[in-house]
Amino acid sequence: MAKDISFLRIKFLNIELSKSVINNSLFISGIMVALYIVSIFFSLNILKYYLNDSLDSRLRHEIEHISSSFKYEKDSVLIIRQQEFEETDLTELTDDSFFLQIYSTDGKLFIQSKNSKFIDKIPLTFPQISDKYFFDDIEAGNNELRFSCQRLSDETGRQIGYVQLSSFNTSIKLLIKKIITINILTFPLVVIFILLISFWISKKTFSPINKIIELSQKISATNLSDRLTFSADPNDELGKLRDTLNDLFERLELQVKQISSFSDNASHQLMTPLTALNSELDFLLRDKNKIDSERESLLMLKEQTERMISIIKSLLLLARNRNSDLEQKTVFDFSKMVSDNIKQIYKNYKIKFVVTDEIYMRGRPDYFLIAVQNLIDNALKYSDNDWVTIFAHQENGKVVIRVEDFGIGIDIKERGKVFERFYRTEKVESLGIKGYGLGLSLVSSIISSMHGAIEIQDNQPRGTKFIITLPALEIE
């Protein structure tokens, strides 16, 4: 039987997650992953900035020493302290080596450190230096370098060239690449961790709402005593919602009790005069001296009185079923009910029974007998006493009972309404078939109290199928 799935549930680490929790978790996870990626990008740039700044400080410090060790005179560079240019950092090739080039604005090379021969030619740069120093990255063949430039000026202060000092930047680039690689490798684990945290946060956030939904699904006109009990500050939104709903349930419970009490009392009060009236009509009809017109009037009154009595009895039964304990403790054998009761009641009708043995259910057997009788009576009435078939069996832990007829059928658009009280289809009204519109309402109420369901399908080649599905009991 098709069921309306109101929300999606999945099993994830033994935690039930609703669709709302999943959507909210994915939304939170998306934001957290985006923030994680942004934080990585930001951190890498900060790290790169500080590493470059550290290297720039070394370059600036070294270039200051070099600048004080020579001077420019008459279109040439004169070395003042030769030992500065003979230091290991300028003569040998190490990870911390410096590569010096002093050249004019037209590219004429004045001085070049000895270790420059160990690497590819370092490009000469001609930046516009507005400050005292200029820093940037360059490539010399396969080597990545960080360089600093200082203006070379003559005695008048006019710029005539550049002092360029470079150092390997490979370690910084390699460190950045390693960090990126580590982040790429750990990214799936971080995403999984973020998802788990998001699911936990969402489930904790939606927990009070789920409790409200579960309580709302349990509440019916006869079960308004439950209240919301989750912990929340009375002054926050969830606390106010809890208290407001509890107050609403309390007022609804009071109103329903008052209406139920009035209905029961009114029905009982009506039964007394109607029963008395019916008895008086029976007495008058036994008088054989009545003329035909009087007898006809009395018969019509008796028919209408019995109709009113039948309606009130059905309403009383609906009220009792509504007010009864939904968790019935009585266990009965439907197969035995069919053989002992139903077959005897309908032994003179065209009814075929296909019922397996030992079909056990929990509920009120007297009420369920009324429900089955109503379905059979409907099938016989609306098929003009044509053949009716009763099927009953167990499958997948459920009891399935079908009442099939070859009658006038029920239009699809009216199937959802036939279980409403006093509703009768247009086709039935047009054919003049008598009824009160309470039988199927009573059937639906009884089946619902037994935690079952009932649906309507077309029969082939014509007619209707009423299909009841109830929880089965296995008796060992």
Per-residue pLDDT reduced to its tens digit, 248-276: 777 877 776 666 666 666 666 677 777 78
297 and 416 co-located in one domain:
no
* Residue 47 structure tokens: 């790290």
**Which stretch of 108-117, 152-161, 260-269, 391-400 has the lowest confidence by average pLDDT?**
260-269
**Which stretch of 15-29, 176-190, 413-427, 454-468 has the lowest confidence by average pLDDT?**
413-427
355 and 439 co-located in one domain:
yes
Whether residue 95 is contained in a domain is answered as: yes
* Number of domains within the chain: 3
* Residue 268 structure tokens: 């009982």
Answer with the one of 307, 323, 339 that is the final residue of a domain.
323
355 and 268 co-located in one domain:
no
Whether residue 221 is contained in a domain is answered as: no
Q: What is the 3-state secondary structure (H, E, C) of 171-228?
A: HHHHHHHHHHHHHHHHHHHHHHHHHHHHHHHHHHHHHHHHHHHHHHHHCECCECCCCC
Looking at the whole model, is its pTM more than 0.75?
A: no
| Distances in whole angstroms, Cα of residue 295 to Cα of each of 173, 283, 289, 307, 434 | 113, 12, 9, 18, 22
Confidence of residue 5 (pLDDT cuts 50, 70, 90): very low
For residue range 348-360, list pLDDT tens digits in order.
888 899 999 888 8
Can you tell me whether residue 382 is helix, strand or coil? helix
* pLDDT at residue 321 is higher than 80: no
Mean per-residue pLDDT of the chain: 80
Whether residue 215 is contained in a domain is answered as: no
Q: What is the pLDDT of residue 429?
A: 55
* Residue 437 structure tokens: 């519109």
CA distance 377 to 379: 5
Confidence of residue 12 (pLDDT cuts 50, 70, 90): very low
Confidence of residue 393 (pLDDT cuts 50, 70, 90): very high
349 and 292 co-located in one domain:
no
Answer with the one of 323, 343, 368 that is the final residue of a domain.
323
Q: How far apart are the first and last CA of the chain?
A: 28
Sort 343 into a burial class: Cβ within 10 Å, 0-12 / 13-18 / 19+: middle
Q: Give the DSSP H or E segment for 75.
A: none
335 and 466 co-located in one domain:
yes
390 and 313 co-located in one domain:
no
Q: What is the 3-state secondary structure (H, E, C) of 451-466?
A: CCEEEEEECCCCCEEE
337 and 458 co-located in one domain:
yes
The highest-confidence range among 50-64, 130-144, 422-436, by mean pLDDT, is 50-64
Task: Provide the domain limits for residue 401.
Answer: 331-471
Q: DSSP for 435-454?
A: --S-HHHHHHHHHHHTT-EE
**Which stretch of 5-9, 30-34, 85-89, 311-315 has the lowest confidence by average pLDDT?**
5-9
455 and 336 co-located in one domain:
yes
359 and 314 co-located in one domain:
no
* pLDDT at residue 126 is higher than 80: yes
308 and 409 co-located in one domain:
no
Q: What is the pLDDT of residue 223?
A: 61
264 and 343 co-located in one domain:
no
> Cis peptide before 461, with omega less than 30 degrees from 0?
yes
384 and 447 co-located in one domain:
yes
Answer with the one of 293, 323, 353 that is the final residue of a domain.
323
Q: What is the pLDDT of residue 42?
A: 92
Residue 360 sits in a domain of what CATH number? 3.30.565.10
